[in-house]
């Protein structure tokens, strides 16, 4: 390995005692490929195995914690004990590759397609539709339902422990239910769950507390708890960078193993709420990076991109689309073959990359999502 990349391969011990062999994480990315009954499919397991060997940690695609939280066709479930064998199969397959296996736990809230949830009824913090074409107005959850939802995140954590995962990532990002409670766009409540900025933090913080309580009760080995957030929203009203910095101050006291900042571009700048010429990730790292490890993600394509990102002080870098395009991203750096890292896909690459049909169709039919080129020129 070229010595300049040594920083990428430094091990890291997390607060829980979970040890990571390097600083590269496979980011959670929905693959639309689970079985209709919510179990993990053979194609999905093969897809993960193909990508798990080099990275220090794999964060799975999101798994729904209740039947009305299913956000995608082909999403796998973690909403009942019947799903534990399916979850165990995935955790075992990942750990056999020498990586840490982390289950991302999730509820889609108002972003769930009605046809995927019982009775077609979507729920959220308030009866406010998302600002997108065809969005339906969700039903506001009752106080009792919110308490039950918090317990559901805890129960799913117990299942992850029993299935052999090394941790869970609480999905508080990308406009889904936990973020919907924090957002002034989707949360218009005037009870204990909403109103002020502090009250809008209540639901995510209660979820974290419940998850950590379950870990303390059930985990017999080190088990990590991470939290993913999106730092801003485009909507008005919406989450601002100032809101997120205030939230981070509270999250930093929650003894989390990491905070995962969901960004399309690692170097993107704030929209509003702060006056700064620096990137969001640099502001976050300065604010709480000395208290809790930060995972950065977004358009980190090459080893030099990753090195530059780590030099901000952020200790962990996640690869999403990049590791789908190049499953051997980490190994090629280790073998001094970094010049062979692929950054595009062709229409002939599905079998070579071990990508399930539903994900492959999404890649091919979503212009701009992946860099698709016509000719191969493979090494």
Distance CA 38, CA 24 (A): 29
Active site residues: 176
Q: Which residues contact 87 (CB under 8 A, 6 or more apart)?
A: 40, 63, 76, 78, 103, 159, 160, 163, 165
In this structure, what token pair is assigned to residue 36? 């209709």
Give the C-alpha distances (Å, rounded to integers) separating 70 from 78, 117, 150: 10, 6, 16
Q: Please give the C-alpha separations between residue 295 and each of 19, 56, 59, 89, 260, in angstroms, as whole numbers.
A: 15, 12, 12, 26, 5
Cis peptide before 237 (omega within 30 of 0): yes
Which DSSP string do the residues of 134-145 spell out, in sequence order?
TPPPPEEPPHHH
Q: Which DSSP state fits 216?
A: H
Q: Distances from the Cα of 257 to the Cαs of 39, 86, 252, 315, in angstroms? A: 28, 25, 10, 12
| Distance from C-alpha of 257 to C-alpha of 169, rounded to nearest angstrom | 10
Using DSSP's 3-state secondary structure scheme, residue 354 falls into coil
Strand, coil or helix: 352:
helix
Token pair 């620096």 is found at 278
């Amino acid at each position: 390995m070229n010595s300049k990349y040594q920083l990428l391969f430094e091990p890291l011990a997390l607060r829980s005692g979970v040890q990571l062999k390097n600083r590269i994480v496979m980011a959670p990315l929905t693959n639309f490929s689970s079985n209709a009954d919510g179990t993990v499919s053979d194609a999905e397991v093969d897809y993960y195995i193909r990508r798990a060997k080099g990275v220090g940690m794999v964060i799975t695609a999101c798994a729904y914690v209740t039947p009305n939280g299913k956000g995608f066709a082909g999403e796998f479930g973690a909403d009942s004990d019947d799903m534990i064998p399916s979850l165990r199969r995935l955790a075992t397959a990942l750990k056999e590759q020498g990586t840490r296996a982390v289950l991302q736990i999730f509820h889609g809230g108002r972003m769930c397609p009605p046809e995927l949830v019982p009775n077609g009824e979507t729920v959220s913090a308030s009866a406010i539709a998302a600002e997108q074409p065809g969005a339906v107005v969700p039903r506001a959850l009752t106080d009792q339902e919110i308490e039950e939802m918090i317990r559901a995140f805890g129960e799913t954590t117990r299942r992850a422990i029993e299935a052999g995962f090394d941790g869970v990532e609480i999905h508080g990002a990308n406009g889904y239910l936990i973020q919907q409670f924090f957002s002034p766009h989707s949360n218009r409540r005037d009870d204990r769950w909403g109103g002020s900025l502090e009250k809008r933090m209540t639901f995510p913080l209660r979820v974290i507390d419940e998850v950590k309580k379950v870990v303390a009760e059930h985990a017999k080995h080190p088990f990590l708890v991470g939290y993913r957030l999106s730092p801003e929203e485009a909507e008005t009203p919406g989450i601002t960078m100032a809101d997120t910095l205030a939230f981070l101050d509270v999250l930093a006291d929650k003894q989390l193993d990491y905070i995962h900042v969901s960004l399309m571009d690692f170097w993107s700048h704030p929209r509003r709420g702060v006056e700064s010429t620096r990137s969001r990730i640099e502001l976050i790292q300065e604010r709480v990076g000395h208290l809790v490890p930060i995972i950065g993600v977004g358009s980190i394509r090459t080893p030099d991109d990753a090195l530059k990102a780590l030099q901000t002080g952020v200790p962990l870098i996640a690869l999403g689309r990049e590791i789908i395009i190049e499953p051997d991203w980490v190994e090629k750096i280790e073998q001094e073959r970094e010049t062979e890292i692929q950054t595009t896909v062709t229409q002939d690459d599905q079998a070579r990359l071990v990508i399930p049909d539903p994900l492959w169709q999404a890649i091919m039919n979503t212009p701009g999502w992946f860099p698709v080129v016509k000719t191969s020129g493979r090494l």
